[in-house]
């Protein structure tokens, strides 16, 4: 039976893919498929992206879109307000984080979203690949904050696992308290249009809505470089006896309207993990001072450096 | 081949459009329509289960591999493979009805969405949480269901377009080659039919053909131009819900089915085995819908074209019966059984026969319609010997077609077959006879499934131009039955397969179908009568 044979093949593929992980013959298959379809998607996106932009912003979601935009503004303003309220030491710490990109020698290349994952998947494809220096587990961000990390690369395309993916786990730091925690994606759910879930190990910590989060450094800067804004706490969930504090985080990034993103392709030679950050080069403080003067400092920290 | 190429192109387009455009849209609800799924459904609804499964698998695998990719490779391949198979399986039940076809597409879309969610859960896709399913599934189902008819139509148009492009050069050669030289002769109609077969015998294709009959002029023009009239037309389908596009296609498919020589030479059993081929090639299509029936038909076709026709039309049990009756003696049980069964008197025997002859089964189901049954059954009895006659007499076939034109004319078909005015057909039969002059009308009937007779008649090919029977929505009663069939049929076919294994697909399928139909028919008839 053809059906039986095909089903068997499909099941075998699933099994092998599950067991092989990041290696195995299926990777070759995937790579080949990615090259072929990726190239086609890349070519087609030239046509579709403008249409998508028009549809989403023209007719799109109408008033609800405006509401969303206003919410985004509120979030950004709140984040800025929080930044203003930080203690001097904390502020220096945060500003350093935000400027890690510039100081640490990150190189960010811009890429366009050319394809979006099917149904439940929280993945997108970008039009930059290994030919552009993109590697697995590079950090992806945009003007608002953390977008995700690279999970697959072909010569001219790469796939990003969004921070909202249910399989995504991002180490974060609460900027005011310096507490460590991790954020997991909600997958595709209606609740709060993709609120991330924050868990903090310190059982005694008191989480408060409005607290901003930035990524915590990862080993070798993969999958996430440090200091990328993630979001703000929007709601604290009653602990209910669990050992970890739980809160919902509203991400800075609008994951439903990704267009241009940046890929961090050149981590600094020196490991800039938060905990071992040097006080900061002397020239930098000057720059730091200018940051608050610009309302958009949070949005584009790299310009300061 | 055409179909294969077309399928690849259409699926690739759907895939890219899905990933680069549709998924980026910010739709009010969480879900997004799945163009790939809908395309698979549209393509599979006009092919055999096997082809549908292959189509689905290929599309799913492409979706798994295309850049954003799925959680695990093979996830969508598994889901779409099943959907493609089911669509191919359901096809025979839909007959020529556009309404049923659309309904089936919608249902398949909903099932596909649900199935993909289920598979996601089963393989522990982290993104497929119950919360996500609750959020995404309802809206995606709604969107897919809404889009299904449009995509169905789009795919049909694409098929027609492709056919138009390819036919011109190939028609002469390929089609003619497929058609029997003797039967087809130089008639354009024959070529047309053959062409349809090539296409894959997809319901679409066939659908258009019958329509052509109506538009005989068009067909003629096209033929003259070197084009094939075959191109699939929704119109035709729409026009005649009941009209067995399927039948038309199947026939074509059967006839076209690759090697006629093989048919003739091969014994019925062989057909079963060969059925695979035909199914794949063009016949597949024809065969697909009625997979069971179609498959069975092919074998018959080779041996006896007439018989198959009858077989093709489920409802035309009468026709088939008549045909079948005649052939059975000489042939295997399959041919004879169905017809006999239907008829009241022979019912018992018919069942038995039907069982024996797996091929006929599909036809039997359709017999259900009392009208047809009556006419058909009556006719069938006498017609029995008709099959042989058909072969011998091409001209008569034409007359038969007339009868066919009327669904109910199942009788007619019988008469035709028999060459006599079948009593059973009497109602229609007489009318039909009168209509004999209307060869065209007959063809019309042929398109209608029930007119098994028509289908059976190879003559159609010749008449094909005229055939263009008028589509009829009448099938009101039959529609209900069809729905029932839709619901019940899928299960039966499966069962059939299991039991029949030894004989081969066709035989198995046929056997099953025959059984089920037989039993049903018998009961109903008896009660009705």
Q: Hey, which CATH number is domain A69-273+283-295, 3.40.50.1460, 2.130.10.10, 2.40.10.340, 2.60.130.10? A: 2.40.10.340
Q: How many residues are given for chain A?
A: 305
SS3 B320: helix
Residue A168 contacts residue A185 (beta carbons within 8 Å): yes
Contacts of B417 (CB under 8 A, 6+ apart): B306, B310, B319, B322, B323, B326, B379, B380, B383, B384, B386, B387, B389, B390, B400, B453, B456
List CB contacts (< 8 A) between B76 and chain A: 118
* Mean pLDDT of the residues in chain B: 54
Is A52 close to B25, i.e. CB distance below 8 A? Answer: yes
Identify the closest residue of chain B to A163 by CA–CA distance. Answer: B127
More confident residue, B374 or A218: A218
Residue B305 to residue B462: CA distance in whole angstroms:
13
Residue B195 to residue B201: CA distance in whole angstroms:
9
pLDDT in tens, B16-68: 988 888 888 877 777 788 999 999 999 998 888 998 999 999 999 999 888 88
pLDDT band at B84 (very low <50, low <70, confident <90, very high): very high
The whole-number pLDDT of residue B454 equals 39
Of the candidates B62, B77, B128, the beta carbon closest to that of A37 is on B62
User: What would the two tokens of residue B38 be?
Assistant: 């809908």
Backbone phi, then psi, for A54, in 5-degree steps?
-65, -45
- What predicted TM-score, i.e. pTM, was given to this entire model? 0.54
Query: How far is the alpha carbon of A181 from chain B, nearest alpha carbon, in Å?
Result: 20
Is A125 close to B67, i.e. CB distance below 8 A? Answer: yes
Is A7 close to B31, i.e. CB distance below 8 A? Answer: no
* Residue B208: C-alpha distances to residues A187, B159, B167, B187, B189 (Å): 46, 11, 14, 18, 13
Is B26 close to A114, i.e. CB distance below 8 A? Answer: no
The whole-number pLDDT of residue B111 equals 93
Identify the closest residue of chain B to A154 by CA–CA distance. Answer: B67
Q: What number is the average pLDDT over the span B130-145?
A: 88
Is A119 close to B20, i.e. CB distance below 8 A? Answer: no
Is A52 close to B71, i.e. CB distance below 8 A? Answer: no
Query: Does residue B405 carry a pLDDT above 90?
Result: no
Q: Give the end-to-end CA distance of chain A in Å, rounded to a whole number.
A: 65
Q: Which of B8, B127, B280, B496 to mutate to test the interface with A (most CBs of A within 10 A)?
A: B127
pLDDT band at A63 (very low <50, low <70, confident <90, very high): low
Q: What number is the average pLDDT over the span A36-60?
A: 77
Is B127 close to A165, i.e. CB distance below 8 A? Answer: yes
List CB contacts (< 8 A) between A51 and chain B: 21
Contacts of A260 (CB under 8 A, 6+ apart): A110, A111, A112, A113, A142
Q: What number is the average pLDDT over the span B251-255?
A: 39
Q: Is A45 on the interface with B (CB under 8 A)?
A: yes
Extents of the domains making up chain A: 2-60, 69-273+283-295
Residue A214 to residue A225: CA distance in whole angstroms:
10
∠ CA B157-B152-B64, nearest 5°, is 110
Query: How far is the alpha carbon of A287 from chain B, nearest alpha carbon, in Å?
Result: 38
More confident residue, B268 or B156: B156
Of the candidates B26, B78, B131, the beta carbon closest to that of A7 is on B78
Query: How far is the alpha carbon of A227 from chain B, nearest alpha carbon, in Å?
Result: 26
Q: Which residues pair with A235 in a beta bridge?
A: A248
């Amino acid at each position: 039976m053809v059906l039986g044979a095909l089903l068997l093949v499909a099941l075998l593929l699933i099994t092998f893919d599950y067991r092989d992980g990041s290696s195995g013959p299926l990777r070759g298959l995937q790579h080949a498929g990615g090259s072929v379809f990726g190239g086609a998607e890349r070519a087609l996106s030239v046509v579709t992206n403008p249409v998508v932009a028009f549809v989403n912003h023209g007719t799109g979601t109408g008033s609800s879109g405006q509401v969303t935009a206003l919410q985004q503004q509120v979030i950004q303003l709140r984040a800025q307000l929080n930044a203003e309220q930080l203690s001097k030491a904390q502020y220096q710490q945060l500003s350093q984080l935000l400027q890690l990109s510039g100081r640490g020698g990150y190189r960010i290349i811009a890429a366009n979203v050319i394809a979006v994952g099917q149904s439940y998947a929280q993945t997108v494809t970008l039009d930059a690949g290994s030919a552009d220096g993109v590697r697995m587990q590079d950090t992806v961000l945009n003007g608002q904050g953390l977008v995700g990390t690279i999970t697959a690369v072909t010569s001219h395309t790469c796939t990003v696992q969004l921070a909202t993916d249910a399989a995504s786990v991002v180490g974060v730091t609460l900027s005011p308290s310096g507490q460590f925690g991790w954020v997991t994606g909600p997958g595709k759910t209606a609740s709060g249009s993709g609120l991330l879930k924050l868990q903090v190990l310190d059982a005694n910590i008191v989480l408060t809505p409005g607290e901003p989060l930035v990524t915590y450094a990862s080993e070798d800067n993969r999958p996430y470089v440090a200091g990328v804004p993630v979001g703000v706490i929007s709601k604290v969930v009653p602990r209910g006896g669990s050992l970890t504090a739980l809160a919902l985080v509203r991400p800075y990034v609008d994951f439903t309207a990704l267009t241009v993103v940046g890929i961090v392709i050149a981590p600094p030679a020196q490991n800039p993990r938060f905990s071992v950050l040097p006080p900061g080069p002397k020239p930098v403080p000057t720059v730091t001072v200018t940051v608050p003067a610009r309302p958009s400092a949070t949005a584009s920290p790299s310009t300061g450096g | 081949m055409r179909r294969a190429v077309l399928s690849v192109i259409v699926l690739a387009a759907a895939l890219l459009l899905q990933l680069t455009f549709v998924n980026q849209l910010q739709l009010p609800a969480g879900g997004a329509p799945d163009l790939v799924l809908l395309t698979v459904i549209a393509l599979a609804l006009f092919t055999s289960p096997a082809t549908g499964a292959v189509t689905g698998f290929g599309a799913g695998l492409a979706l798994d591999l295309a850049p954003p990719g799925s959680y695990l490779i093979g996830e969508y391949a598994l889901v779409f493979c099943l959907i493609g198979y089911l669509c191919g399986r359901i096809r025979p039940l839909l007959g020529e009805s556009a309404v049923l076809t659309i309904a089936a597409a919608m249902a398949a879309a909903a099932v596909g969405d649900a199935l993909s969610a289920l598979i996601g859960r089963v393989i522990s896709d982290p993104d497929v949480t119950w919360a996500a399913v609750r959020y995404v599934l309802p809206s995606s189902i709604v969107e897919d269901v809404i889009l299904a008819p449009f995509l169905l139509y789009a795919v049909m148009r694409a098929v027609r377009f492709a056919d138009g492009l390819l036919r011109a050069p190939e028609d002469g050669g390929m089609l003619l080659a497929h058609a029997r030289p003797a039967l087809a002769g130089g008639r354009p109609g024959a070529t047309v039919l053959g062409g349809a077969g090539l296409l894959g015998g997809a319901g679409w294709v066939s659908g258009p053909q019958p329509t052509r009959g109506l538009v005989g002029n068009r067909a003629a023009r096209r033929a003259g131009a070197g084009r094939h009239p075959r191109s699939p037309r929704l119109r035709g389908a729409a026009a005649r819900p009941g009209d067995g596009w399927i039948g038309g296609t199947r026939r074509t498919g059967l006839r076209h089915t690759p090697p006629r020589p093989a048919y003739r030479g091969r014994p019925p059993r062989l057909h079963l085995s060969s059925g695979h081929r035909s199914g794949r090639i063009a016949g597949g299509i024809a065969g697909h819908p009625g997979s069971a029936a179609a498959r069975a038909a092919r074998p018959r076709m080779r041996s006896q074209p007439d018989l198959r026709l009858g077989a093709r039309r489920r409802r035309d049990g009468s026709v088939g019966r008549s045909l079948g009756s005649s052939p059975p003696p000489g042939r295997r049980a399959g041919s004879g059984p169905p017809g006999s069964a239907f008829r009241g008197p022979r019912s018992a025997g018919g069942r038995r026969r039907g069982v024996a002859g797996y091929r006929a089964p599909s036809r039997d189901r359709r017999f259900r319609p009392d009208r047809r049954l009556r006419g058909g059954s009556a006719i069938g009895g006498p017609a029995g010997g008709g099959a042989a006659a058909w072969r011998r007499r091409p001209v008569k076939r034409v007359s038969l077609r007339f009868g066919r034109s009327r669904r109910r004319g199942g009788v007619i078909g019988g008469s035709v077959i028999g060459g006599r005015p079948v009593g059973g057909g009497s109602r229609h039969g007489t009318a039909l006879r009168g209509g004999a002059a209307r060869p065209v009308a007959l063809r019309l009937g042929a398109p209608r499934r029930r007119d098994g007779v028509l289908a059976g008649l190879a003559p159609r090919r010749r008449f094909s131009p005229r055939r263009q029977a008028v589509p009829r929505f009448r099938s009101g009663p039959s529609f209900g039955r069809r729905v029932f069939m839709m619901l019940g049929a899928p299960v039966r076919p499966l069962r059939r397969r299991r039991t029949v294994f030894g004989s081969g697909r066709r035989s198995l399928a046929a056997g099953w179908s025959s059984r089920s139909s037989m039993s049903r028919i018998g009961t109903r008839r008896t009660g009705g009568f």
